[in-house]
A and B are shown apart, each in its own frame.
Chain A
Amino acid sequence: MIDTLVQPFVEFAFMRRALVGCLAISLTAPPVGVFLVLRRMSLMGDAMGHAILPGAAIGYLLAGLSLAAMSLGGFAAGLAVALAAGLVARSTVLREDASLAGFYLVSLALGVMLVSVRGSNVDLLHVLFGTVLALNDAALLLIATIATVSLATLAVIYRPLVLECFDPQFLRSVSPLSSPTHLVFLVLVVLNLVAGFQALGTLMAVGIMLLPAITARFWAEDVSGMIGVAVGCAFAASLTGLLLSYHANVPAGPAVILSCGVFYLVSMLVGVRGGLIWGFVPRKHLEA
């Protein structure tokens, strides 16, 4: 039993690297995802994932499948879309959701077109779905660096961030940190999407960010608890996904995200806080 779990990683370097890459992303993306979920920005996170595509595509057009070019491009595009959406929401009749939807859809179409101009659809597939089994040293280093920077930053802005989740008006009234915190948080979201995009592709980088966080909602009630559960869940899903890809011969990226999904569904049924099953278990009546 242990053999089936451990042996693929012992025997193959590419499995070890895939695992390290996924674990690094699992450490950094879920905490950001927890805040997205708490601030009701989950779908925004998804939109951002698609928004980074044209930046990556421009990087790809200029420099081929180059890590630096695509990451920088993706980062710039993601940030641009986030800021533009915010600006439009503030200065026109559109609200945040509509303005972001407008920008990210244009972004996505632009990205697909740019990749198709220079490369074949195969390259587009790789950009959309990632190559977790082919993470080279540079990619792993990038992911690890982003993970470190992201966690450190999160630790620094933790308190204003939590406060902004639950009572933004209060924060605005007692401190000037509200806007900068929001901005830094957006930067972190894009940074983590860029990290995840190398391994899992633009379509699924958001998955590892949001699904564990959503799952954690059913197990913990305070923010630190949720972060812990989300990271643990992401670790488990990475391991399960890679093993599934190895033993059941399915593509690795989708396997990881589907594992996250399975954990989510199970948690929804039996999670300690709010699991559906507990609704059917009668609770003790308090009697005088």
Chain B
Amino acid sequence: MRYRVYASIGLALGILLGASGAGHASDKVKAVASFSVLGDMVKNVGGDRVEVTTLVGPNGDAHVFSPTPADAASLASADIFFVNGLGFEGWMERLENASGFKGTLVVASGGVMPIAMREAEGHHGDDAKDGAEQAEADDHDSYADEATDPHAWQNLFNGKIYVTNIRDALIATDPDGKAVYEANADKYLAAIDTEDKAVSAAIAKLPPERRRIITSHDAFGYFANAYGLEIIAPEGVSTESEASAQDVAKIIRQIRKEHIPAVFLENVTDRRLLDQIAAETGAKIGGVLYSDALSEADGPAPTYLDMFRHNVGTLTAALAS
């Protein structure tokens, strides 16, 4: 009887281990991106040579993401892990340690000039198109600083920095693909450039007093600085915090005083608070903006550049009228 027990345990272990040992004989570089915007960028630069897995998928909120064992498993077998940095992924270190990741960690925002977290009321909508110029005024050089605004990709200039970092990291990991990566990156950078100019032009067409909006959380600081839009948000930089009555009151007072025309929902937050603010002030609900995550593949913002096109289209449509 005892032998039978040992035999079944042995068999079970054998089955489990055998199944998990099924090899992956693919030559593609295995990359993991922390969220959908990065995933899209890596796909564009890596092309067919890279297999990309994204942790925080479409419409997901990376501020409050909770990694699952499946995520740890995909990270464990990855060659390279792309993260945003600047405090965006609070769970990153723990996931890295827990999964036993042995590849390269790449912080996509390396070299980006970060800007400080913005207050809910007092801030300036500059016309500086270059995020780096604007942010030089700040003294932040620590990426782990809690008061840093992590949403650097909302400025297309920073997007280009992200792409060059991704390209360099992929070349370092897979030198054979250097030509491919450089070609893809050049094409992508050109597309980003075009979009950058289009965004600036579109915002510039709006009359200056209409270039202000309310949105759920303060994800558009870099966008505001780069393209001359003023953003006011009740929830601060991260969706993790609950709005207090004072925050909501300040926003309503400001909307009333300055006749801000539109309120925008985001794809990662609760719309009820914004509905209430819109109802009380008479501001229009302008539509949905994509901030921290792309949409599904069949949605309006499935790629990084589509996100900008959609956001700018929504903004101008609501603010121009």
Contacts and interface: CB of A to CB of B under 8 A. Distances in A.
Interface of A: 8, 11-15, 17-18, 65, 116, 120-123, 125-126, 129, 131, 133-136, 242, 245-253, 255
B246 A248 contact: yes
Given A14-B276, A65-B272, A123-B270, A133 B243 contact: yes
A253 B64 CA distance: 20
Contacts of B245: 8, 14-15, 18, 133, 242, 245-246, 252
B277 A249 contact: no
B275 interface: yes
Interface in B23-64: 59-61, 63-64
Interface string B199-242: 00000000000000000000000000000000000000001101
A122 B273 CA distance: 13
Given A131-B270, A135-B276, 8 more contacts: A12-B280, A121-B65, A122-B63, A247-B246, A249-B244, A249-B246, A251-B243, A253-B242
Contacts of B268: 120, 122
Contacts of B247: 249
B295 to A, nearest CB: 14
A15 B270 contact: no
A17 B252 CA distance: 15
Given A121-B64, A122-B268, A15 B273 contact: no
**Residue from A15, A131, A133, A246 having most chain B Cβ neighbours under 10 A:** A133
Contacts of A122: 61, 63-64, 239-240, 268-270
Contacts of A120: 59-61, 64-65, 268
Interface string B244-278: 11111100110000000000000011111101110
Given A14-B248, A120-B61, A134-B272, A125 B277 contact: no
B97 interface: no
B66 interface: yes
A133 B242 CA distance: 10
**Residue from B239, B244, B253 having most chain A Cβ neighbours under 10 A:** B244
Contacts of A136: 272, 275-276, 279
Contacts of A126: 270
A19 B280 CA distance: 15
Contacts of A129: 242
A211 B246 CA distance: 25
Contacts of B248: 12, 14, 133
Nearest to A17: B276
**Residue from B239, B246, B269 having most chain A Cβ neighbours under 10 A:** B246
Contacts of A135: 276
Interface of B is mostly: helix
A15 B249 contact: yes
B35 to A, nearest CB: 12
Interface of B: 59-61, 63-66, 239-240, 242-249, 252-253, 268-273, 275-277, 279-280
Nearest to A135: B276
B243 to A, nearest CB: 7
B280 A134 contact: no
Contacts of A134: 270, 272-273, 275-276
Contacts of A13: 279-280
**Residue from A65, A121, A126, A253 having most chain B Cβ neighbours under 10 A:** A121
B291 to A, nearest CB: 12
Given A120-B64, A122-B239, A136-B276, A65 B270 contact: yes
Contacts of A18: 245
A12 B277 CA distance: 10
**Residue from B239, B273, B276 having most chain A Cβ neighbours under 10 A:** B276
B280 A14 contact: yes
A116 B66 CA distance: 9
Contacts of B271: 65
Contact of B244 (A12, A17, A123, A250): A250
Nearest to A14: B276
Contacts of B279: 13, 136
Contacts of B273: 131, 133-134
Contacts of A255: 244
Contacts of B243: 133, 251
21 contacts: A8-B249, A12-B249, A13-B280, A14-B245, A14-B280, A15-B245, A65-B272, A120-B59, A120-B64, A120-B65, A122-B61, A122-B270, A123-B270, A135-B276, A136-B272, A242-B245, A245-B246, A246-B244, A250-B244, A251-B244, A255-B244
A126 B242 CA distance: 9
B244 A245 contact: yes
B36 to A, nearest CB: 13
A32 B273 CA distance: 30
Nearest to B274: A134
A247 B59 CA distance: 34
Contacts of B270: 65, 122-123, 126, 131, 134
Contact of B242 (A65, A242, A251): A251
Nearest to A245: B245
A133 B252 CA distance: 12
Contacts of B64: 120-122, 125
A246 B249 contact: yes
B289 to A, nearest CB: 16
**Residue from B60, B66, B243, B275 having most chain A Cβ neighbours under 10 A:** B243
